[in-house]
Chains A and B, each alone.
Chain A
Amino acid sequence: MKIHEYQAKELFQKYDVPIPRGRVAFSPEEALSRAQELGSFPVVIKAQIHAGGRGKGGGVKLARSAQEVRELAEQIIGMNLVTHQTGPAGRIVKKVLVEQGLEIEKELYLSLVADRATAKIVVMASQAGGMDIEEVAASSPEKIIKVFINPLQGIQAYHCRQAAYGLALSPALIKPFTAMLKSLYRLFVDYDCSLVEINPLVLTADQAVIALDAKINFDDNALFRHSDVVAYRDLDEEDPLEIEASKYNLNYINLDGNVGNMVNGAGLAMATMDLIKLAGAEPANFLDVGGGASAEMVENGFRIILSDPNVKGILINIFGGILRCDVLAEGVVQAARKTGINVPVVVRMEGTNIDEGRRILAESGLDLITAVDLKDAAQKVAQIVGA
Chain B
Amino acid sequence: MSIFVDQNTRVVVQGITGREGQFHTRQCLAYGTRIVAGVTPGKGGQKMDDVPVFNTVGAAVAETGANCSLIFVPPPFAADAIMEAADAGIAVVVTITEGIPVLDMMKVMNYLQGKFLRLIGPNCPGIITPGEAKIGIMPGPIHLPGGPVGVVSRSGTLTYEVVHQLTQRGIGQSTCLGIGGDPIIGTSFIDCLEAFEKDPATRGVVMVGEIGGSAEEEAAEFVASQMSIPVVGFISGLTAPPGRRMGHAGAIISGGSGTAGAKIEAMKAAGIHVCENLGSLGELCAEVFK
Contacts and interface: CB of A to CB of B under 8 A. Distances in A.
Interface in A36-57: none
A378 interface: yes
A215 B72 CA distance: 35
B210 A114 contact: no
Contacts of A275: 277-279
Contact of A267 (B105, B138, B153, B256): B153
A202 interface: no
Interface in B105-156: 105-107, 109-111, 125, 137-139, 142, 153-156
Contacts of B237: 270, 274
Contact of B246 (A269, A292, A352): A269
Nearest to B241: A255
A119 interface: yes
Interface in A188-203: 189, 192, 194
Contacts of B211: 270
Given A114-B103, A151-B106, A152-B107, A253 B238 contact: no
A362 interface: no
Interface in A210-225: 219-222, 224-225
Nearest to A223: B101
Contacts of B250: 116
Contacts of B239: 255, 270, 273-274, 276-277, 282-283
A251 interface: yes
A283 B255 CA distance: 23
A374 B236 contact: no
A177 interface: no
Nearest to B212: A116
Contact of B156 (A225, A267, A273, A283): A267
A375 B284 CA distance: 14
A117 interface: yes
Contacts of A92: none
Contact of B236 (A150, A267, A320): A267
Interface residues of B, number: 62
A137 interface: yes
Interface string A261-289: 00111111111011111100011001010
Contacts of B161: 268, 271, 319, 350, 374
Contact of A320 (B102, B104, B139): B139
A71 interface: no
The A interface, classified by DSSP as helix, strand, loop or mixed, is mixed
B28 to A, nearest CB: 13
- Give the contact-size bracket for chain A: 35 or more
Contact of B158 (A137, A267, A320, A376): A267
B245 interface: yes
Contacts of B214: 117
A121 interface: yes
B20 interface: yes
A247 B43 CA distance: 34
A156 to B, nearest CB: 15
A85 interface: yes
Among A265, A269, A271, A277, the one with the most B-chain Cβ atoms within 10 Å of its Cβ is A271
Contacts of B100: 221
Nearest to A255: B241
Given A268-B156, A270-B251, 13 more contacts: A151-B107, A255-B239, A265-B247, A266-B247, A267-B208, A267-B236, A270-B247, A271-B236, A286-B240, A319-B161, A321-B139, A352-B139, A374-B278
28 contacts: A114-B106, A114-B184, A117-B213, A119-B184, A121-B106, A137-B255, A152-B107, A152-B111, A220-B245, A221-B102, A263-B157, A264-B157, A265-B247, A266-B155, A266-B210, A266-B246, A266-B248, A268-B155, A268-B158, A274-B236, A274-B239, A275-B277, A286-B240, A321-B138, A350-B161, A351-B139, A373-B279, A375-B279
